[in-house]
A and B are shown apart, each in its own frame.
Chain A
């Protein structure tokens, strides 16, 4: 591991930590514009984080040690995920630490912890949220892995860096399988990040909550870390989608100039992605929880179709 690579890695993590709340703020702002509301300030998530970190933690009487540890574990998982996803360059020292399958595993680990933390205090809404989160999880995970399988078949590798490298620096061939995979990935990202139409991050109606229901009992720094982790997850998924389906501009090695050029391009792509996400959230309504299997089943079917298209039409053996 050379020094410049290490510095690049640290920079990528810090960038993720800084940009992630900004992305959430941007999506919130766009959503407000689309919905003809007065937009909250762009930096709202930072103010929120600061406020929450300053507030004291109010713990329920029977909150256990797991409840207190979970926000830190989730935050750690999300930071690791952001470190693995190739955002600016594909030459990351952490890239071999986890391939696409392990990335899904890391998200899964965070999910288990948040679901368990939701069940910890023993309130009606907490366990409801935990159960629904696991429901969405087991529906979304196979679809996500099928998307990765399709990409892995194209790149002959499950390493994210190699996949992005292959996709970014290939000759201009249109893979129909990528279209299927891209749509499936979008569906999964919406579900995984607790977005409309599966969940609503801005909901105040407890019975429709998924993510919010699990974290109802959190406060202070714990809530701040969970919120931050949630925005990191959105950032990781956005960067992953951009890197996999719009990989242009990601620096191939530790070429410093290409790295510098990649930053504004990433910002631009994230901004456009945020507008699209806000658009999707505006034109859709939240669906009933038992429509979620249909939604994610569609995603799974599309991903499988992508895989079969890849096998049937694109591989010439």
Chain B
């Protein structure tokens, strides 16, 4: 008997997830069994799967054929380095989320826990199959399973109308995206074997498409995967679906599912289409920049904590798309070193975002459970009753803002480095545009700081805005374990960039033929110097240790030389004594500067109180321009067309019979043999 390869382990993991999910149906109403046995089991499978994927990293691609599906159309599966990186991501993120979910799902909330468990594990297994698929057919089947299982997860609480609406919007856009992907695969198989068509990825790789067709395939894939990832203008489902879903599901969707779309985009643009045209990169760069800027601006003005995070996910996906665009540009001009740098930034940001965004979504889940409140305007001061969640969320906030020494900074640093060393592109025009794009990336990162300070400060700091918040309780042990796991991932990704990049090297090498391993400074694990240490270097461990040592030394010295006395009293606040919670900034108030500076970017409705109002009300409603630019006209058009069609339906059988008769006559006239 041959020994088991990593791909076999991954397949076993997928089956194990399915079985775990199915066993939820044995006792669908038994919350205890489902949450305390099945979800931890799912987490263990996730960790095992992650380890198997890690062991596959750097090795040869492994293939397998599954004889399920239609006759003559078996599933081709393949585990190469790119899939392994994303499978690793899926493994470690899902482990944390599943552990958390073990403590999260309670009795009497939405669907039966057993059903939820089935949907959740089906979702996990289908994401894994998306990563393993090696033909268009298997890919689309897994992709649709993923979309459907996540749709049911989003609509867990389907009694609320807005949750149903969010679910349908998600399903609609997921399918628009799926059409794009399907057409893209269709274009790529176009030339093979006449009518029969070989839908395996291996056949697509050998295709030599004309530039027009390969561009068409790329643009279709960008639109299709962009719909899933949340690229503007197909982002509208994210801010609706994320708040609607239970928090572990939001975390899974934002942290992992969006990355499967990135995986698909990378797979198509660097693996299946082996020629690259430079303007593809410009398109991806432009779309990414618009998405990132849009996402972060809207994140700053949100008043619902999960919506804020959803917009922040859009921003991060935008940054990833910017990185992909840059990689495409460099790759098209055969500047492989720089392409490898940008690609590493992309993959690193995928990993980092999976860690910190899952963490933040799970923290909002704990807040939601403790307070039953999603609106920032009714939270505040939660660091007192929930210190665990607050401090762990702070790690997520720092990483998400892209600050050292946590994970978000490493990927942004790599991205900026690849921007910085771009001169030398053969296009003078590109040489001008690329640094300005870098400036916009920096603006996005800085604005993300604003959004995250708002998120954290309003939820966890200040005075409690509602008296009921006093009864909030901290996260339970399971939830804490999940949060701690993801914090640990965020920290490790932040302080150990070099080993991680060496791991990612296999994937960049597979896609671009070049990696960073040759130029990466190998002097020590603590140092990150992707090109040479003369050019740029970053040692997160030194940063972390220096800050920590200074902090402790300062504390010790101050207490030693002076004293450590503390007295509590009422806040000073410049002597003003009406210091109730209403005097603090509201969520709306905090983002007022942004609304004012970037006013044209928002669609705002404001109501100001008059000076003599007895009950002054201030209201501001910010809506998405794209909804009115792109979606409302389409919806109106559909309405109008259906109104026309309704006229045909008079409801009288005689009229319908006449339609049939006329049609028959016409056919006889037109389609004579």
Q: Is A284 engaged at the interface, CB distance under 8 Å to the other chain?
A: no
Q: Is A39 engaged at the interface, CB distance under 8 Å to the other chain?
A: no
The residue on B at minimum CB distance from A162 is: B534
Residue from B381, B417, B446 in contact with A141 in the complex, judged by beta carbons closer than 8 Å:
B446
What 1/0 mask marks residues of chain A from 92 to 118 whose CB sits below 8 Å from any chain B CB? 001011110110011011011001100
Are B554 and A76 neighbours in the complex by a CB distance under 8 Å?
A: yes
Which residues of B in the span 556-576 have a Cβ within 8 Å of any Cβ on A? 558, 561-563, 565-574, 576
Are A54 and B562 neighbours in the complex by a CB distance under 8 Å?
A: yes
Q: How far is the CA of A101 from the CA of B421 in the complex (A)?
A: 14
Q: How far is the CA of A134 from the CA of B416 in the complex (A)?
A: 22
Listed stretches A28-36, A151-159, A189-197, A254-262; interface member: A151-159
Q: Is A180 engaged at the interface, CB distance under 8 Å to the other chain?
A: no
Q: Which residues in B have their C-beta under 8 angstroms from that of A94? A: 542, 546
Q: Is B655 engaged at the interface, CB distance under 8 Å to the other chain?
A: no
Q: Given A127-B585, A149-B420, do A64 and B383 touch, yes or no (CB 8 Å)?
A: yes
Q: Given A98-B538, A102-B538, A137-B446, do A216 and B590 touch, yes or no (CB 8 Å)?
A: no
Q: B338 → chain A, closest Cβ, in Å?
A: 13
Are A62 and B381 neighbours in the complex by a CB distance under 8 Å?
A: yes
Are A111 and B449 neighbours in the complex by a CB distance under 8 Å?
A: yes
The residue on B at minimum CB distance from A144 is: B442
Are B439 and A304 neighbours in the complex by a CB distance under 8 Å?
A: yes
Q: Is B321 engaged at the interface, CB distance under 8 Å to the other chain?
A: no
Q: Is B487 engaged at the interface, CB distance under 8 Å to the other chain?
A: no
Q: B435 → chain A, closest Cβ, in Å?
A: 5
Are B442 and A76 neighbours in the complex by a CB distance under 8 Å?
A: no
Are B413 and A101 neighbours in the complex by a CB distance under 8 Å?
A: yes
The residue on A at minimum CB distance from B583 is: A124
Q: B656 → chain A, closest Cβ, in Å?
A: 63
Q: Is A221 engaged at the interface, CB distance under 8 Å to the other chain?
A: yes
Q: Is B539 engaged at the interface, CB distance under 8 Å to the other chain?
A: yes
Are B409 and A105 neighbours in the complex by a CB distance under 8 Å?
A: yes
The residue on A at minimum CB distance from B533 is: A96
Q: Is B277 engaged at the interface, CB distance under 8 Å to the other chain?
A: no
Q: Is B450 engaged at the interface, CB distance under 8 Å to the other chain?
A: yes
What 1/0 mask marks residues of chain B from 388 to 408 whose CB sits below 8 Å from any chain A CB? 001100100110011110000
Q: How far is the CA of A138 from the CA of B591 in the complex (A)?
A: 13
Q: How far is the CA of A178 from the CA of B83 in the complex (A)?
A: 46
Are B438 and A98 neighbours in the complex by a CB distance under 8 Å?
A: no
Residue from B438, B536, B590, B592 in contact with A99 in the complex, judged by beta carbons closer than 8 Å:
B536
Are B442 and A142 neighbours in the complex by a CB distance under 8 Å?
A: yes
Q: Which residues in A have their C-beta under 8 angstroms from that of B581? A: 122
Q: How far is the CA of A75 from the CA of B548 in the complex (A)?
A: 10
Are B450 and A121 neighbours in the complex by a CB distance under 8 Å?
A: no
Are B566 and A65 neighbours in the complex by a CB distance under 8 Å?
A: no
Are A123 and B453 neighbours in the complex by a CB distance under 8 Å?
A: no
Q: Is B431 engaged at the interface, CB distance under 8 Å to the other chain?
A: yes
Listed stretches A18-26, A235-243, A307-315; interface member: A307-315
Q: Given A146-B442, A158-B417, A221-B562, do A61 and B380 touch, yes or no (CB 8 Å)?
A: no
Which residues of A in the span 294-317 have a Cβ within 8 Å of any Cβ on B? 300, 304, 307-308, 311-312, 315, 317
The residue on B at minimum CB distance from A103 is: B404
The residue on B at minimum CB distance from A229 is: B554
Q: Is B603 engaged at the interface, CB distance under 8 Å to the other chain?
A: no
Contact-residue bracket for chain B = 35 or more
Q: Is A79 engaged at the interface, CB distance under 8 Å to the other chain?
A: yes
Q: Given A122-B462, A217-B573, do A53 and B420 touch, yes or no (CB 8 Å)?
A: no
The residue on A at minimum CB distance from B549 is: A76
The residue on A at minimum CB distance from B531 is: A157
Q: Is A286 engaged at the interface, CB distance under 8 Å to the other chain?
A: no
Residue from B534, B543, B576, B590 in contact with A131 in the complex, judged by beta carbons closer than 8 Å:
B590
Are B403 and A127 neighbours in the complex by a CB distance under 8 Å?
A: no
Are A122 and B381 neighbours in the complex by a CB distance under 8 Å?
A: yes
Q: Is B371 engaged at the interface, CB distance under 8 Å to the other chain?
A: no
Q: How far is the CA of A139 from the CA of B443 in the complex (A)?
A: 8
User: Which of A58, A108, A122, A131 gathers most chain B CB within 10 Å?
Assistant: A122
Are B461 and A124 neighbours in the complex by a CB distance under 8 Å?
A: no
Q: Given A98-B404, A134-B450, do A57 and B547 touch, yes or no (CB 8 Å)?
A: no
Are A60 and B539 neighbours in the complex by a CB distance under 8 Å?
A: no
Are A62 and B384 neighbours in the complex by a CB distance under 8 Å?
A: yes
Are A60 and B431 neighbours in the complex by a CB distance under 8 Å?
A: no
Q: Is B463 engaged at the interface, CB distance under 8 Å to the other chain?
A: yes
Are B401 and A300 neighbours in the complex by a CB distance under 8 Å?
A: no
Are A61 and B394 neighbours in the complex by a CB distance under 8 Å?
A: no
Q: Which residues in A have their C-beta under 8 angstroms from that of B569? A: 58-61
Residue from A76, A116, A124, A127 in contact with B547 in the complex, judged by beta carbons closer than 8 Å:
A76
Are A290 and B537 neighbours in the complex by a CB distance under 8 Å?
A: no
Are A75 and B554 neighbours in the complex by a CB distance under 8 Å?
A: yes
Which residues of A in the span 195-233 have a Cβ within 8 Å of any Cβ on B? 206, 216-217, 220-221, 225
Residue from B397, B417, B431, B447 in contact with A138 in the complex, judged by beta carbons closer than 8 Å:
B447
Are B423 and A311 neighbours in the complex by a CB distance under 8 Å?
A: yes
Q: Which residues in B have their C-beta under 8 angstroms from that of A157? A: 534-536
Are B554 and A138 neighbours in the complex by a CB distance under 8 Å?
A: no
Q: How far is the CA of A99 from the CA of B404 in the complex (A)?
A: 12
The residue on A at minimum CB distance from B580 is: A122
Q: Is B46 engaged at the interface, CB distance under 8 Å to the other chain?
A: no
Q: Is A45 engaged at the interface, CB distance under 8 Å to the other chain?
A: no
Q: Which residues in B have their C-beta under 8 angstroms from that of A62? A: 381, 384, 463, 571
Q: Which residues in B have their C-beta under 8 angstroms from that of A289? A: 593
Are A108 and B420 neighbours in the complex by a CB distance under 8 Å?
A: no
Q: Which residues in A have their C-beta under 8 angstroms from that of B583? A: 123-124
Are A315 and B423 neighbours in the complex by a CB distance under 8 Å?
A: yes
Q: A90 → chain B, closest Cβ, in Å?
A: 12
Which residues of B in the span 451-479 have a Cβ within 8 Å of any Cβ on A? 452-454, 456-458, 461-463
The residue on A at minimum CB distance from B426 is: A317
Q: Which residues in A have their C-beta under 8 angstroms from that of B421? A: 156
Q: Which residues in A have their C-beta under 8 angstroms from that of B537? A: 96-97, 99, 159
Q: Is A263 engaged at the interface, CB distance under 8 Å to the other chain?
A: no
Would you mind naming 23 contact pairs between A and B with Cβ atoms under 8 Å apart? Answer: A58-B568, A59-B567, A62-B463, A76-B554, A83-B546, A98-B539, A102-B543, A106-B404, A108-B401, A108-B403, A115-B457, A116-B457, A119-B458, A121-B462, A123-B573, A124-B579, A124-B585, A126-B584, A131-B585, A135-B594, A149-B439, A158-B417, A159-B533
Closest 3 CB pairs of A and B: A122-B462, A122-B463, A127-B585
Seed contacts A66-B383, A289-B593, A308-B435; 4 additional CB < 8 Å A-B pairs:
A59-B566, A60-B568, A109-B404, A123-B584
Which B residues are within 8 Å of any A CB, using their own CB? Answer: 380-381, 383-384, 387, 390-391, 394, 397-398, 401-404, 409, 413, 416-417, 420-421, 423-424, 431-432, 435-436, 438-439, 442-443, 445-447, 449-450, 452-454, 456-458, 461-463, 527, 529, 533-539, 542-543, 546-551, 554-555, 558, 561-563, 565-574, 576, 579, 581, 583-585, 589-590, 592-594, 596-597
